[in-house]
Structure 1
Amino acid sequence: MGDMETEKTDGAVEIARGVYWVGAIDWNGRDFHGFTTPGGTTYNSYLVVGEKTALIDTVKAPFAGEMLRRITQIIDPSKLDYIVVNHMELDHAGSLAELKKQTDAKIFITKRGVDILNGYFRGLGSENWDLEVVQTGDELDLGGKTLMFLEATMLHWPDSMETFLKEDRILFSNDGFGQHIATSKRYDFEVGDVIPDAAEYYANILMPFHMPLLRFMGVLDKMGVDPLQIAPSHGIIWKQDLKKILEAYRAWANGEVNEKVLVIYDTMWGSTEIMATEIAEAVRAAGVEVKLLNLRKNTRNHIMKEMLDAAAFAVGSPTLNNGLFPTVGDFLVYLKGLRPQKKKAVAFGSYGWGGGAVKTVEKELKDTGIEVLEPGLQIRYRPYEKELERCRKLGEQLAAVAKEQ
């Protein structure tokens, strides 16, 4: 198969001899449990055909028919021998019950995956399904095709697993190395640079799990897993940029940062925005890359992508009812769940008859495990020249912090 054109079989896509993409494209999906997806997404399922056949992962339940049509173009689904469940989250396993109506295929799954499977599908027949629990290093011989299972605990659920097709050196990585993009193309070299999409995906899905990721990449090295293709469950397959995405994942997991500062804020009557702009301008004037990000004009997942390689950031909020502005509170809750590493941050904001937001921002940042630069900057009513100079000083401080990294 040449690198310039993907071979297709009536909608199914052959990615190696006897190996097919049979997934689904969610062209109009715009929200993925809080992750804004303006470009849609895909749910990737893969059919491996040797003397016996195995389906690796299914698709989100509303797309079961699309998956089954593609499988049917290769084999009769009732003849399927095995199903590999790399991860039980319903964007990957949602069609399992529908598929099991058509086949008695044995399911290969991790021990922790069994409990989740029964939690979702009890009453839909799961108590009678033929299951085999596997762990790292276990293999399934299909006759000419050998699948090796690799537990990927907490990437990003306890049950997560990846599967390596040894003969064709394809790593079916489930949520690892994914991106939320919908495309009729299947490969990186067909769609251009998707590293930014992968960065956004990593920042919002896998960022809290950098230590399990580093451990898993160590397991790949130890077991001699050297893929020629990485086939995730969302987005495109990595082939041309395989080395680039592996290097990027190692850098992200190690918390490598650049000389970069984010100024993240919302504003009520414009005062906090004036402060944010002045802080950002001072960072820029110091020769450090800066991004000015209004929380009502930038999605949380975009901001977290920018956070990935930032050395420092500022969070600004006006005071509302002695506390945070709602969008700032929302962002800080989201941030706390993702727990970015190796960052320093500062709080700023404005108030009228009573303050409170800056102290609350500082507390939330500390609770997230981020090193907070104190004191934060709080200005009453509207900033004038003396207050603007304090904003500039804060920007210079952030630029200096970024340069130290």
Structure 2
Amino acid sequence: MAKKLTDKVSWVGKVDWELTRFHGDEYSTHKGSSYNSYLVRDKKTALIDTVWQPFDKEFVARLKQDVDLKSIDYIVMNHNEIDHSGSLPELMREIPDTPIYCTANGQKIIQGHYHRPEWNFVTVKTGDTLDLGDSKLIFVEAPMLHWPDTMFTYLTGENILFSNDAFGQHYATESLYDDTVDQAELFTEALKYYANILTPFSKFVTRKIHEVLDLKLPLNLVCPSHGVIWRSHYAQIIEQYLKWADDYQENQVTLVYDTMWNSTRKMAEAIAAGIRDADPSIAVKLMNSAKEDKNDIISEVFRSRAILVGSPTINNGYLFSIGGMMEMIKGLKFKNKRAAAFGSYGWSGEVVKQLTEELNKAGFQIVNEGHRALWIPDEAELATCREYGKQFAESL
């Protein structure tokens, strides 16, 4: 069902309460998500973005209930990942000649996905406009936020920024707006979204936000493609993005570890106790990578000023879950964070050196050569681990 945002603009998207995984199995969505599509009706009518492919027939059927499809003059695609463009083929069966406005990269990506050369593409760049009558759409390219094709669209008169993935969250709500939901949940999901998706592109985030702010456009709503519409806290989420993009850290140390027979776990707990001994103001979090959600771990790494990564040595290397976490961490290109490694071993013990090398490759400043313990740590070894944690904290 369409939901009216202003006299001219309606939300025509899909709330997906059942979604638990996204980007294949790469992203956990504990709070579901939404695929936000917007219908702008002036003298001309524009549809901004569609919804994910599994809901294409539902999307088109519901859209028909709200508007004569043949009255849609323009389709604007801000970004063409399948969760946004997936309903295009179903929609274009109904209105095959409707022009699709997107960036040049957007056209390439749509063609790469759907292989429909006959579709009527109109490519746009920053500063181009589309006259709807009393209002205009102004296009602003935003490459790598978070794909090369991404753009923002601003609606004059209504003062709405359609920001696609920027300022989004995987967060299902029927009430749509930021001021109608639990604020702690909302900003937790917004941080998780930024940490897991936008972190590698932080320099582009900073540049693009300042570019848009410099335009001094009046703003009433920020309408992303996932999660809530920002009407009361849009200034706060923009400010938060600038903070998150600025090599973000809190006064936190996170220990990410896996363990076979609990030796590495015991080391982690003793190291954590040592950190608290040295500085009780530091928030210390322990996360078992084989048991905790990987995206929640990434959120805590994002918050942290430093991390410690631990694993026992197995087959001359580290455990599978730690390998997966290190690949994610490297890909996200965190900045301004320190790190060290630890782990238990039986007869070879090279994992600490290997993890230290991986952390260095991932861009972390290495605090020290790490710490390893032979077999199951006894009280003396646990005391050594605790002292190691204390020294680690004092070096930050």
Normalised to the residue count of structure 2, the TM-score between the two structures is: 0.95
| Counterpart in the other structure of 1:182 | 172
In the aligned structure 1, how far is the partner of 2:68 from the partner of 2:198? 36
Q: Which moved more, 1:337-346 or 1:226-235?
A: 226-235
| Counterpart in the other structure of 2:328 | 334
CA offsets 1:41-90 (integer angstroms, 9 cap, x no match): 11111111101111111111111133223322331112211001111111
> What pairs with 1:35-114 in structure 2 (closer than 5 Å)?
35-103=27-95, 104-114=97-107
Identity %: 43
Q: Which moved more, 1:392-401 or 1:362-371?
A: 392-401
Q: 1:315 aligned to 301, 309, 314, which one?
A: 309
| Counterpart in the other structure of 2:135 | 145
> What pairs with 1:250-265 in structure 2 (closer than 5 Å)?
250-265=242-257
Instruction: Report the 3-state secondary structure (helix = DSSP H, G, I; strand = E; otherwise coil) of the residue aligned with 1:97.
Output: helix
Contact 1:312 1:401 in 2 (8 A): no
- Tell me how far 1:401 sits from its aligned partner: 4.4
Instruction: Report the 3-state secondary structure (helix = DSSP H, G, I; strand = E; otherwise coil) of the residue aligned with 2:169.
Output: coil
Q: 2:112 aligned to 113, 119, 123, which one?
A: 119
In the aligned structure 2, how far is the partner of 1:247 from the partner of 1:221? 11
Cα 1:351–1:83 shift into 2, 3 Å: same
**In structure 1, what residue type is equivalent to 2:15?**
I
Contact 1:349 1:358 in 2 (8 A): yes
In the aligned structure 1, how far is the partner of 2:219 from the partner of 2:395? 39
Deviation beyond 6 Å, 4+ runs, structure 1: none
In the aligned structure 1, how far is the partner of 2:211 from the partner of 2:288? 41
Q: Which moved more, 1:385-394 or 1:172-181?
A: 385-394
In the aligned structure 2, how far is the partner of 1:228 from the partner of 1:398? 47
Contact 2:353 2:369 in 1 (8 A): no
2:220 is the counterpart of 1:231: no
The runs of 5 or more residues in structure 2 that have no matched partner are none
The runs of 5 or more residues in structure 1 that have no matched partner are 1-10
2:355 is the counterpart of 1:361: yes
In the aligned structure 1, how far is the partner of 2:117 from the partner of 2:61? 27
| Counterpart in the other structure of 1:5 | none
**In structure 1, what residue type is equivalent to 2:300?**
E
| Counterpart in the other structure of 1:204 | 196
Contact 2:179 2:232 in 1 (8 A): yes
Cα 1:292–1:143 shift into 2, 3 Å: same
Q: Which moved more, 1:65-74 or 1:364-373?
A: 65-74
Normalised to the residue count of structure 1, the TM-score between the two structures is: 0.93
Q: 1:164 aligned to 129, 132, 154, which one?
A: 154
In the aligned structure 1, how far is the partner of 2:371 from the partner of 2:307? 14
**In structure 1, what residue type is equivalent to 2:101?**
F
Q: Which moved more, 1:62-71 or 1:268-277?
A: 62-71
Q: 2:295 aligned to 291, 301, 305, which one?
A: 301
In the aligned structure 2, how far is the partner of 1:30 from the partner of 1:68? 24
Contact 1:283 1:289 in 2 (8 A): no
In the aligned structure 2, how far is the partner of 1:300 from the partner of 1:203? 12
Cα 1:54–1:267 shift into 2, 3 Å: same
In the aligned structure 2, how far is the partner of 1:401 from the partner of 1:229? 45
**In structure 2, what residue type is equivalent to 1:105?**
T
Contact 1:42 1:182 in 2 (8 A): yes
CA offsets 1:311-347 (integer angstroms, 9 cap, x no match): 0010001111010100000100011111111100000
CA offsets 1:87-146 (integer angstroms, 9 cap, x no match): 111111111111111112111010111111111111xxx211111110111111111221
Instruction: Report the 3-state secondary structure (helix = DSSP H, G, I; strand = E; otherwise coil) of the residue aligned with 1:149.
Output: strand
